[in-house]
Structure 1
């Protein structure tokens, strides 16, 4: 299982850049921060999916957290893709892409990540109700490390996430690398409902990390436009809401520096300003819960249960839902909690109380 890393918030990326350039050394505290170009692609509201393949192991399918099959599937992705997966790998990847073919012949794994979306996978977006489609948004080359059948428990996942974060920050990840967009942006197969995120509008911005607030209004403007009318929906003559934009820096950090900006309708926190530069200033556990434990985040918890083949209508599954909800909030909002000096035990108790009530009212 080679999981797709979490996409962070703008403020997290700012912190990463500052930490990378200035570190903790006193003599580096005034080092100038870089000006970096970010490429923006439409964020699609579906479910994270991937097809991986290796010369010795063959191919496999993944959801965000699991290896899946047509029997143990996620929204029908593996069942749909399996009949023509070998043809896709051979004709659309190996026969047309020199780098992918060379890496494949060396025995490395290739993971094609994308969003399985449309149909009834998600609601309240322009692409809802369209035929289900797979939209490629990144490709990773992975050197031998884990068999795809090896699934990790929660503690192992957290440790692996920490290791990957350290490797990505060093920009010298010896285990894997992202393939540059120019190498895969033309890969699609529209007849089989396989699209490429570069088939749709793409955006460019320059961020001066010495003054990140200067780009904030532009990020908000672009996000609002996508939310008002999804460019992918428009491609299919379907008006309606979009989710937001994912921004990735390629030239310097090779695809490892990335953040998302969601519109208000799909945000999982009640932020005062989209694309916030700083953490929210909160004064109590209740303010934090109102900010972080939102309906949209809890709906993602139900998505997680469905991915795990767990019945979201059964009260016996409340503990699994609450564990995911607590882990997700504390993982994404640890900086906010630290700034407010909140006790994790108090936060966990409050999340559990609100989450259990919400679950009971929504099953």
Structure 2
């Protein structure tokens, strides 16, 4: 039934890859090898990619602390905030008071290279942004005295640009105008405890704080499979409530569905994004790979990769790749097929890394299967 339902919601697959696509798949592999070469560089200010799986967070936790557990079965306290379905954007304030707007993939947006007019809307608010920066620093000093603030690090107000025309079929798309919502704050080179910075906003200027949607609290207990499954069910119960009625939209007097929840481990562990995760309701999930079982996978590298690709690449992930082209200024035409495919391959390989290893999915075969899905969907989209 799972595979049947996935086939019903996934675009028709291409069973063969032509010579051009074979070359393109190889090019992605070569790019990966070059990117693996360590190079000294300034840490990127781009927002980190958040895993969507509880099991990935647990693996990161045990890898870091497994040999120092004070108890046999540790628990992780989680704090959740509403996940907003818009387009990601960050306000980066440099030490010299320079303000820039970055997207998920571009370090700098401007009025000529924008993403849903986020830069055009926020760059004129420099005075208000610098005032928010000063309030963030004042709050940090209040919480961390006598520690010193590193004035060489930028202050980052990471957030989501939401409102009419950005995304569809969610409550916040009914807002009368677009606005920026602060989701996370980085200062002194570390992500801060979001519950300690709830007053950082300027709603009259269209800059809100995600705290308006409230906080969720749960405990992740992974002493055994049964207990862990119950914890996952609790997280999903909150998520389903948000999908039914978005608390953030409701706080602004709007009724409509939400996307999900972003969960962070208890501070200071939450300084590290490896201990964040996101949970989405059925309408907004980009992957179904957590429902696959290794023993039920078809034999053969090609068949296994095809089933995995169909589970990993659904409509939401395909739309994210489509939006990526717009964000990067890549023309959406036949020539853009390669960039579209490359984004999908990398996104799947990053977010599904552990599942790919556990399922023993061949990477080359997976890239070919993703390319087939990408080409069929992309050409259909171009024809609309």
Q: Give the structure-2-normalised TM-score.
A: 0.77
The one of 47, 65, 82 equivalent to 2:105 is 65
Q: Deviations over 1:60-100 (max 9, x none)?
A: 1111111111221111111101112223212x331574155
Q: Is the CA contact 1:117–1:127 (under 8 Å) kept in the aligned structure 2?
A: yes
Q: Which residue of 1 aligns with 2:12?
A: none
Q: Which residue of 1 aligns with 2:127?
A: 86
Q: Which residue of 2 aligns with 1:5?
A: 48
**Corresponding residue pairs, total:** 321
Q: Which residue of 1 aligns with 2:371?
A: 352
Q: Which residue of 2 aligns with 1:162?
A: none
Q: Counterpart of 1:128 in 2: which secondary structure? A: helix
Q: Which residue of 2 aligns with 1:234?
A: 250
Counterpart-to-counterpart distance in 2, 1:219 and 1:281: 27
Q: Which residue of 2 aligns with 1:263?
A: 281
Matched, 1:193 2:206: yes
Q: Counterpart of 2:101 in 1: which secondary structure? A: strand
Q: Deviations over 1:196-244 (max 9, x none)?
A: 0111121111112324223111111111111111112212232221100
Q: Which residue of 1 aligns with 2:35?
A: none
Q: 1:60 to 1:125 in 2, by over 3 A?
A: same
Q: 1:332 to 1:354 in 2, by over 3 A?
A: same
Q: Which residue of 1 aligns with 2:77?
A: 37
Counterpart-to-counterpart distance in 1, 2:295 and 2:276: 20
TM-aligned CA deviation for residue 280 of structure 1: 9.9
Q: 1:195 to 1:279 in 2, by over 3 A?
A: farther
Q: How does 1:324-363 map to 2 (within 5 A)?
A: 324-363=343-382
User: 349-358 or 103-112, which moves further after superposition?
Assistant: 103-112
Q: Is the CA contact 1:230–1:239 (under 8 Å) kept in the aligned structure 2?
A: yes
Counterpart-to-counterpart distance in 2, 1:358 and 1:254: 37
Counterpart-to-counterpart distance in 2, 1:88 and 1:122: 25
Q: How does 1:215-254 map to 2 (within 5 A)?
A: 215-254=231-270
Q: 1:239 to 1:87 in 2, by over 3 A?
A: closer
Counterpart-to-counterpart distance in 2, 1:182 and 1:335: 31
Q: 1:338 to 1:182 in 2, by over 3 A?
A: closer
Structure 1 or 2: larger helix share?
A: 2
Q: Deviations over 1:313-356 (max 9, x none)?
A: x1110000000011111111122222222211111111101110
Q: Deviations over 1:14-67 (max 9, x none)?
A: 1111222326xxxx8996242221111000001111111123262211111111
Q: 1:279 to 1:14 in 2, by over 3 A?
A: farther
Q: How does 1:266-277 map to 2 (within 5 A)?
A: 266-270=284-288
Q: Give the structure-1-normalised TM-score.
A: 0.82
Q: Is the CA contact 2:80–2:217 (under 8 Å) kept in the aligned structure 1?
A: yes
Counterpart-to-counterpart distance in 2, 1:336 and 1:95: 42
Q: Counterpart of 1:39 in 2: which secondary structure? A: strand
Q: 1:112 to 1:206 in 2, by over 3 A?
A: same
Counterpart-to-counterpart distance in 1, 2:290 and 2:246: 23
Q: Is the CA contact 1:21–1:33 (under 8 Å) kept in the aligned structure 2?
A: no
Matched, 1:110 2:138: no
Counterpart-to-counterpart distance in 2, 1:266 and 1:44: 11
Unaligned runs of 5+ in 1: 143-175
Counterpart-to-counterpart distance in 2, 1:120 and 1:77: 12
TM-aligned CA deviation for residue 252 of structure 1: 4.3
CA-based RMSD of the aligned residues comes to 2.5
Q: How does 1:318-329 map to 2 (within 5 A)?
A: 318-329=337-348
Q: Is the CA contact 1:114–1:136 (under 8 Å) kept in the aligned structure 2?
A: yes
Unaligned runs of 5+ in 2: 1-43, 142-146, 299-303
